[in-house]
Amino acid sequence: MESHNRRAPEEGRAMVPSSTPRAQWHKSRSSTSSISMYSVQCGKCFKWRLISTQEEYEEIRKNLRDNPWFCNKKSNVSCEDPADIEYDNTRTWVIDKPNLPKTPDGFKKKLVVRSDFSKCDAYYLMPTGQKVRTLNEVEQFLAANPKYRSVVNISDFNFTSPKIMEDTIPEDIEGRASSSKKIRNMKDL
Ligand SMILES: [Zn+2]
């Protein structure tokens, strides 16, 4: 049980791992990669559980601070079951802040990791297909498409970049030391 504690984040924060295994980063290093796998950490046993959809993940994340997540919220799963996924550097992990707004229906939030792993960018796809990268652009979109004002509010959008976990970045990315990086205690974040 003690062994779980070294990975325990404060408040069981949600994390978004990229599903692309490290080998594939090598092949397509010139292009960016988007997040395609979501997981959340149990507030009791600290195991990581995969969350099947972005929508479900955002639902959990939006009030994670007041409403911690536990294994038994996933059907047929308990803290006794082995973790779905381990936090390690076989894939690159991106950590999200808790309590971010859930993306409104019809809109889509995208998180894209830059090819050099320097940053993860957040943007939204509007129902019109338009890409929006800042709150100003959301304002402009609403001004140009006033019918959406009754469905969404500016506070439904959040462009905070999730943090790329440095200790899970592939070691051969240029500009990065290849010395062994230890998985740090997440309380240091
Ligand atoms: Zn658990």
Q: What is the 3-state secondary structure (H, E, C) of the chain?
A: CHHHHCCCCHHHCCEEEEEEEHHHHHHCCCCCEECCCEEEECCCCCCEEEECCHHHHHHHHHCCCCCCCCHHHCCCCCCCCCCCECCCCCEEEEECCCCCCCCCCCCEEEEEECCCCCCEEEEEECCCCCEECCHHHHHHHHHHCHHHHHCCCHHHCCCCCCEECHHHCCCCCCCCCCCCCCCCCHHHC
> Mean of the per-residue pLDDT values for the chain?
79
Give me ligand 1 centre to Cα 10, in Å.
Answer: 15
What is the pTM (predicted TM-score) of this model?
0.76
Mean pLDDT along residues 90-96 = 86
The rounded Å distance from CA 112 to ligand 1 centre is: 29
Distance 81 CA to ligand 1 centre (A): 8
The confidence band for 20, taking pLDDT boundaries of 50, 70 and 90, is very low
Q: Is the pLDDT of residue 45 over 70?
A: yes
Tell the CATH topology of 2-170.
Answer: Methyl-cpg-binding Protein 2; Chain A (3.30.890)
The domain ranges of the chain are: 2-170
Residue pLDDT, tens place only, 115-128: 888 888 999 999 99
